[in-house]
A and B are shown apart, each in its own frame.
Chain A
Amino acid sequence: MTAAVTALTVLSEYRWPERPARELPVLPGYVLSSFSPLVAAAAEGCLAGYYADEQAAAAPRDRTAVLLVTAGNDAVSAEHVHDKVAAGRRVGPLFFFQIAPNSVVGQLTARWGLGGPVVCISPVGDPLADGLAEAELLLADGDADEVLLICAEQAGTPEAGTPGAGAPEAGTPEQGEPVDRAHALLLSRGQMP
């Protein structure tokens, strides 16, 4: 289903998990947690097809913003670090950057050459609605011509079941399963009537 958007144009859209289900691709440099691989996979799914088009691929991307919306953030990494610290043990150095949501955004902006603003927010309402509102604000502000919006939640968080995180529609076999979910949309300004 394509999100209902009025002030924005959806250039490309992708949801994780795919059907049929497959394992999240490994993201080199990121360990233990599925959060960063999930965000990277969502970006890949949304952008690979879109940029396969020659005209889209040739367009400048230095004004493409990335907006990550997540309530749970990387809960697995955060819990791992907290437990290690509480036990007085050393934390692995990879977690230094992995635990910041910006980190995987930097990975995907480098991968895709996206040089617009980088924004990470925690939703206060419906994640997709918050994300679309923030994307519209970024486009209106003028530092971005496109926004890659990614809503992502890890399995086991209450937020993973929310619509904005890419939850399946009612009645599908996947409903209620504890799986990582993400929803990515490449957005531009809406067409004037």
Chain B
Amino acid sequence: MADRAPVAVSGLAVLSALGRGSEPQLAGALSGTAAFGPVRRFDVSGRRVGVAATLHQAGSLADELAEVVEQACRDAGLTAAERAATPLLLAVHGHPAAAADAARLAERAGLAGVHRVYIGACVSASTAVADAAVLIGRGADRVLVAAGYLVDPDQFALFDTGQALATDGAVRPFSAGRTGLLLGDGIAAVVLESASAARNRQPVAELVGWGRAGDAYHPCQPAPDGSGLARAVTSALRRAGIAPDELGYVNAHATGTVLSDAAEAAALRTALGTAADRVPVSSTKAVHGHALEASGLLELAVTVLALRAGKLPVNAGYLGPDPSCPLDVIAGSPRPVGSPYALSLNSAFGGANTALLVRAA
């Protein structure tokens, strides 16, 4: 039995290099058509790798965030009065003006103001979603969570010098021969509500569980046994009150890096037990890239869209099984949804791990 009331996902909007809006995300995720290409947004001539997934003619992060937040509010059908009572939780790259930028975003959208700004690398957005669920569980009617990252020269240079970027122009999660990650644009926003606040709306999904735990292992490497992520998954399942074999899909964090993907596979084996043999898994980073601070919300959005479409995304770029990743990877073509429950996982430097569990509405 669930130990928390479900949270309604009442509105959703998303953007990535696959395109603007839900349709291109779903089309790309289901077909496995990757959006990677040569970076033209800035000079990469001195870099080891020159590929990323960047949206053509992207505006500034502030403008793109404002547009996506506006779309999410419209998707949920929020009135001006409802917006004015809705706080913003924002996940972005940390910088001294982050809070001021968040305040301007809230003002542009007519929201109640900024409740929190999350800067914890690749679990920023998923942490914001978990916090939003806690706030709603403690009495808040509604929260808007937004997250944004547009591929930029500084982060690109850092991932390049860290030799984290794929050298063959493709992200191959859980695959033999994978060589690393590729960065990608990602902006997303969701309106989360209590059941009572959402009673006159048709939610797109429900957030039924979440979990967070740390590896206590290393500044930038995951624990090889995936222990922290496993505890996060177990916590999410417990909150939802479901068993591992009730899961129908895992949208994995899997970045396409050798160590991280193997650690995530170990985490899923630990948390799901023998159900890990049967739960379909894919990482949509293979098509939209790694959106860093925004990845958790972008991937949650793609997961929700897939559940609604009744089809599970392909794990693009897959060349064949890697013995260190013994999972039921969705290779080749999308599969039909077999259960309404899906997990979206994220991990970050510092051994930070999150698990978000959604149910199709």
A22–B83 alpha-carbon span in the complex (Å): 50
Q: Note all chain A residues with C-beta closer than 8 A to B103.
A: 124
* B88 smallest CB distance to A (angstroms): 10
Choose one: B121, B138, B214; the contact of A120 (CB below 8 Å).
B121
CB-CB nearest in chain B for A71: B96
> By the criterion CB–CB under 8 Å, are B121 and A102 in contact?
yes
Say if the beta carbon of A129 comes within 8 Å of chain B: no
Mask: chain B, 125-163; 1 = CB below 8 Å from A; 0 = not: 001001100110010000000000000011001110111
Stretch at the interface among A41-49, A79-87, A164-172, A178-186: A79-87
A61–B116 alpha-carbon span in the complex (Å): 26
CB-CB nearest in chain A for B220: A97
> By the criterion CB–CB under 8 Å, are A101 and B213 in contact?
no
> By the criterion CB–CB under 8 Å, are B214 and A93 in contact?
no
A62–B235 alpha-carbon span in the complex (Å): 13
> By the criterion CB–CB under 8 Å, are A110 and B351 in contact?
yes
- Residues 148-182 of A contacting B (Cβ, < 8 Å): 157-159
Say if the beta carbon of B348 comes within 8 Å of chain A: yes
> By the criterion CB–CB under 8 Å, are A124 and B220 in contact?
no
A65–B123 alpha-carbon span in the complex (Å): 14
Q: Note all chain B residues with C-beta closer than 8 A to A99.
A: 158
Say if the beta carbon of B299 comes within 8 Å of chain A: no
> By the criterion CB–CB under 8 Å, are B130 and A141 in contact?
yes
> By the criterion CB–CB under 8 Å, are B116 and A106 in contact?
no
> By the criterion CB–CB under 8 Å, are B94 and A96 in contact?
no
Q: Note all chain B residues with C-beta closer than 8 A to A19.
A: none
> By the criterion CB–CB under 8 Å, are B96 and A81 in contact?
no
Choose one: A70, A89, A92; the contact of B94 (CB below 8 Å).
A70
> By the criterion CB–CB under 8 Å, are B123 and A118 in contact?
yes
> By the criterion CB–CB under 8 Å, are B94 and A117 in contact?
no
- Residues 291-310 of B contacting A (Cβ, < 8 Å): none
> By the criterion CB–CB under 8 Å, are B352 and A73 in contact?
no
> By the criterion CB–CB under 8 Å, are A119 and B213 in contact?
no
A143–B265 alpha-carbon span in the complex (Å): 22
* B153 smallest CB distance to A (angstroms): 5
Say if the beta carbon of A109 comes within 8 Å of chain B: yes
Choose one: B98, B158, B163, B235; the contact of A81 (CB below 8 Å).
B158
> By the criterion CB–CB under 8 Å, are B96 and A72 in contact?
yes
Q: Give the A interface residue count (CB, 8 A).
A: 60
Given A90-B46, A101-B121, A103-B350, A110:B96 Cβ within 8 A: no
- Residues 70-125 of B contacting A (Cβ, < 8 Å): 94-96, 98-99, 102-103, 114-121, 123-124
A44–B117 alpha-carbon span in the complex (Å): 26
Q: Note all chain B residues with C-beta closer than 8 A to A106.
A: 215, 217-220, 349-352
Given A106-B350, A118-B123, A124:B216 Cβ within 8 A: no
> By the criterion CB–CB under 8 Å, are B157 and A91 in contact?
yes
> By the criterion CB–CB under 8 Å, are B120 and A121 in contact?
yes
A159–B97 alpha-carbon span in the complex (Å): 11
Q: Note all chain B residues with C-beta closer than 8 A to A81.
A: 154, 157-158
A81–B161 alpha-carbon span in the complex (Å): 11
Q: Note all chain B residues with C-beta closer than 8 A to A117.
A: 127, 212-214, 352
> By the criterion CB–CB under 8 Å, are A73 and B214 in contact?
no
A65–B127 alpha-carbon span in the complex (Å): 13
> By the criterion CB–CB under 8 Å, are B95 and A73 in contact?
yes
> By the criterion CB–CB under 8 Å, are A113 and B216 in contact?
yes
Could you list 22 examples of A-B contacts with CB < 8 Å?
Answer: A62-B213, A73-B95, A75-B96, A81-B157, A85-B154, A88-B43, A93-B162, A96-B220, A97-B349, A102-B350, A103-B349, A109-B350, A110-B218, A117-B213, A118-B214, A121-B116, A121-B118, A124-B102, A137-B131, A141-B131, A143-B211, A143-B212
19 additional contacts, CB 8 Å, given A78-B95, A102-B352? A71-B98, A93-B161, A93-B162, A96-B159, A99-B158, A100-B121, A100-B220, A100-B350, A103-B219, A106-B220, A106-B349, A109-B216, A115-B214, A115-B231, A121-B120, A122-B119, A130-B116, A140-B138, A143-B235
- Shortest beta-carbon contacts, A-B, top 6: A96-B162, A102-B350, A106-B350, A118-B352, A120-B120, A117-B212
